[in-house]
Chains A and B, each alone.
Chain A
Amino acid sequence: MPLLSLVIWLPILGGVAVLFLADRDRATVLKLSLSIALATFVLSLPLYFGFDTATHAMQLVERVPWIPAFGIDYHLGIDGISLPLILLTTFTTVLVILAGFEVIERRLAQYMAAFLILEGLMNGVFAALDAILFYVFWEAMLVPMFLIIGIWGGEQRVYATIKFFLYTFLGSVFMLVALLYLYYKGGSFSILAMHGLPLDLAAQKLIFIAFLLAFAVKVPMWPVHTWLPDAHVEAPTGGSVILAAIMLKMGGYGFLRFSLPIVPDGSQALDGLMIALSLIAIVYIGFVALVQEDMKKLIAYSSISHMGFVTLGFFVVFRLIGNGATAGSAAMGIEGGMVQMISHGFVSGALFLCVGVLYDRIHSRQIQDYGGVVNTMPVFAALMMVFCMANAGLPGTSGFVGEFLVILTSVKASFWFAVCAGTTLVLGAAYTLWMYKRVIFGEVANERVAKLQDLNRRELVILGSLAAAVLLFGVWPAPMLEVMHATVEHLVEHVSHSKVAMAVTGL
């Protein structure tokens, strides 16, 4: 059974079907969209259980010609890097659909359809092994997200969504030029073929920069992060969750799938820049998060800071390779970054959902409008505590594992990298827990807070399942690490061989 095609096309076609139901009653639309999302999630489970963790080769490969004139194939496959991200996508979409149930009043069918189509496209990004197929999914994804922020967003939604679109579009088109250039060098659009393509250093640096423009905007890295606070704040809750939990991960995924293996020497040559940008994101953006008054904005900045860990983990590897460390210890940096991506997917998604829960009741995101919520919503307060602790990187939550692995790797590279990165443990705890304290604890701030109702069953299911995931991977990250281990080892092995030498000798 073509499982990968199913997890891509079932939600897309299902989303189109939901669109045609627009005139029916709400209940039908809700039931249909939830069952499509659930069916996709169930279909994605066999990907995990049938996955062979011993090999780094692509699995479940599907390949049929798409545009034969230029050798473009419909080429899908997964390895240890893409599998966890696909599972994260299908899991998160179920929660997002569920979270939209009572909240969305206008154009419900279009809302649900947009998220389902988006899910299919995101799965396509992670599964595509042909560069053009990847690019088509990557760009097409902007269309539903543009509409989600623009139609269901807040006050400044138009500004935010156009900024989001243009920023991302700007980055991506240069990636397209790089991909076309690689096609002319190697004569193939297959990503795996590009991995083996010999290139000289000058070309590698330029290609690296073109990729960097695309992926740095998506991650987002300082200084091209400014679209994110706007988009996050203005997007509806579901949109923020998808943005934070999955779209940001595409930048990280892009580094691992394109930048590192295709231009290893370019990455090596510019690793100082990347490490510096990552550390600036971690420290500077951490301080910026500290002064935010708007909960969504605070979480948005915290996302940027946490994603800095991901890129730090990916690029500190080159310092280790340069120092002659073993492949195993270098791989730990990338694995740490990957774990951080997955964990951040759960944690930031959950925090945005928490803000959504409060916003649905009081219609404010300002911290000062809250206080003493624990008195009226004890269950909610307890769950939010878990997510805040995970965001601060408390041991026992998934947030700790990734940060720990990355810091451990950076110590080996340079003591000062580790010191800078380590400040996040202080800063992260400071901004997260301070927000938690101001919102949840203390006296009941006003009568609107006094009238709050605790979580209903639907919200409890959503937040409860996320809390379970956060704690599970916090105490037992092995299933995640196991899946990616072979792939990451192979990646490190691959990047430690210079392509310049190959280009010179003509091999």
Chain B
Amino acid sequence: MSDLILSLPELVVLGMGCAVLLACVSRRGAGLVYRLSQGTLFAALLLTIALGPGNPGLAFHGLFVSDLLATVLKSAILVVSMGAFVYSRDYLAARPFLSDEYFVLGLFAVLGMMVMVSANNFLTIYLGLELMSLSLYAMVAMHRDSAAASEAAMKYFVLGALASGMMLYGISILYGVTGSLDLHTVAASLYQHADRSLLLVFGLVFVIAGIAFKLGVVPFHMWIPDVYEGAPTPVTLFLGTAPKLSGFAIAFRLLVEGMEGMVADWQQMLAVLAVLSMALGNIVAIAQWNIKRMLAYSTIAHMGFLLLGLLAGTKTGYAGSMFYVIAYALMSMGAFGMILLLTRAGFESDRIEDFKGLSERSPWFAFVMLMLMFSLAGVPPFVGFWGKWFVIKEALAAGFVWLAVLAVAFSIIGAYYYLRIIKLMYFDTPEETAPLSCGREMRFVMSLNGLAVLGLGVSPGVLMALCLSAVGAGR
């Protein structure tokens, strides 16, 4: 019975996901599917918050874990997904292709992410990962008449399947050496293998390749720009936010909870990945004229920063990464939401120039975008600054002074392309003067999104404390 209570949020999403699928098949009343999906996410959010912190514990014979880390990350995933659904609604309603399926597939992807976050076993991780990935492949391919979308979906699927395979191969090697799939048993037996056999390192490489692919860090980043650009914007929005949270979760579960005994090995691998990502992401983003592609390269750079905290190998370092990923999900949600706001029926707004003169057309939205861009660039007092501050601080504390210096140098390069958006919005004259029109719901959520970036920047203490206690570094 307690198994079911611990996994109640997942069960709700699963049950309701099936119900929404039926509602979707019956094609009754526009908006029903949307409202049901939002209701499901909201109910799951309430359950997660109500159940989580009170009952930490294992379920299903140790396959599933409910702890503070899971509660915080699941809440973030649910909130971000709700926001993504709000932003996407108008866009989907104005397009002829299958809009209801977006929400159904979204629900199943969310379920996959929740399972990943709560996984305590290699197989549970893989199960969640595949559920999420398969839903996302389908979402990318949703606009089937678009050649770009089909190509993106194909690329994503082939590379994604390859990455899953590699990860599975790595897991099988680890299983062969340690004799267990349970994360804690693996961790315990790794501490006994003090000699760190070559086979273990070999397995670790494959696991890290899988994680790196899911996060999209160099050199496993090839799919990101094409998929971000080719997929319909609402899908890009969904893809660029919540899965990053679950990607961090599996990185934490696998590397920290499962393989902390090999920290010296994965630390070095992550350091290389981090430097390459920050360099390539920030430099290549400068050359982009498609905003979705630019944000794709910016994602790559941000994931590099995220790794800085993980590779510190300390509890505060993991908390730094967790803070970073939550902050990043919030900012990226707003930025992609803003692209959706600019699009209208029959007009895809994915060129950077479409932001021209926004501050004269819609001063408030331009200001929200300004906050988001400065936040992504890491300028205080916005939340993005604290993310960078936190991970750089931890890298420095772990003795990676050269990494910290490189990180700040790349963040200067990164500032340039975010400033370019602000320049277009504020310093250029608009090509058209009509103010942006959008529903009340979207206006409200977008404002909230912008204010959250500012609010968390002015008082980041609570979220930091939460992240610290979630990874077990509570003071």
Residues of A whose CB lies within 8 Å of any CB of B are 22, 66-70, 132, 135-136, 139-140, 142-143, 146-147, 150-151, 157-158, 161-162, 165-166, 169-170, 173-174, 176-177, 180-181, 183-184
Contacts and interface: CB of A to CB of B under 8 A. Distances in A.
B12 interface: no
Interface in B395-449: 396-397, 401, 404-405, 408-409, 411-412, 415-416, 419, 422-423, 426-427
A143 B392 contact: no
A176 to B, nearest CB: 7
Interface string B375-389: 000011100010001
A180 B461 contact: no
B475 interface: yes
A142 B392 CA distance: 21
A197 to B, nearest CB: 16
Nearest to B413: A166
Given A68-B461, A136-B380, A140-B379, A174 B419 contact: no
Given A139-B380, A177-B408, A180-B392, A68 B416 contact: no
Given A169-B415, A173-B412, A68 B393 contact: no
A180 B404 contact: yes
Contacts of B411: 173
Contacts of A166: 412, 415-416, 419
A184 B460 contact: no
Contacts of B423: 150, 158, 161-162
A177 B392 contact: yes
A169 B412 contact: yes
Given A69-B465, A181-B396, A174 B408 contact: yes
A71 to B, nearest CB: 10
13 contacts: A67-B460, A68-B461, A139-B379, A140-B381, A150-B427, A161-B423, A162-B416, A165-B415, A166-B415, A173-B411, A173-B412, A180-B404, A181-B396
Contacts of A135: 380
A66 B461 contact: yes
Contact of A67 (B363, B381, B464): B464
B427 A151 contact: yes
Contacts of A169: 379, 412, 415
Contacts of A136: 380-381, 385
A346 B393 CA distance: 40
Contacts of B464: 67, 69-70
B329 interface: no
A267 to B, nearest CB: 22
Nearest to B416: A166
B426 A150 contact: yes
Interface string B450-475: 00000000011100110010000001
Given A22-B363, A173-B412, A177-B408, A162 B392 contact: no
A383 to B, nearest CB: 34
B408 A176 contact: yes
Contacts of A161: 423, 427
Contacts of B374: 143
B399 to A, nearest CB: 10
B461 A143 contact: no
Contacts of A162: 416, 419, 423
A151 B416 CA distance: 17
Given A158-B427, A180-B393, A140 B380 contact: yes
A400 B393 CA distance: 45
Nearest to B408: A173
B121 to A, nearest CB: 32
Nearest to A22: B363
A75 B475 CA distance: 22
A132 B388 CA distance: 13
B382 to A, nearest CB: 9
Contacts of A67: 460-461, 464
Contact of B426 (A22, A151, A173, A181): A151
Nearest to A171: B412
B461 A69 contact: yes
Contact of A177 (B363, B379, B405, B426): B405
Contacts of A147: 426
A165 B419 contact: yes
A170 B427 contact: no
Contacts of A174: 405, 408
A69 B315 CA distance: 13
A408 to B, nearest CB: 41
A68 B405 CA distance: 26
Given A150-B423, A150-B427, A184 B397 contact: yes
A431 B199 CA distance: 75
B100 to A, nearest CB: 40
A157 B392 CA distance: 33
Contact of A157 (B427, B460, B468): B427
Contacts of B389: 132, 176, 180
Given A157-B427, A173-B408, A180-B389, 19 more contacts: A66-B461, A67-B464, A69-B464, A69-B468, A136-B380, A136-B385, A140-B379, A140-B381, A143-B379, A150-B422, A166-B416, A169-B379, A169-B412, A170-B412, A173-B411, A176-B392, A177-B392, A180-B393, A180-B404
Contacts of B459: 66
Contacts of B468: 69
A68 B419 CA distance: 32
B427 A69 contact: no
Query: 5 smallest A-B Cβ distances: which pairs?
Result: A173-B408, A67-B461, A136-B380, A150-B427, A139-B380
Nearest to B396: A180
A143 B460 CA distance: 20
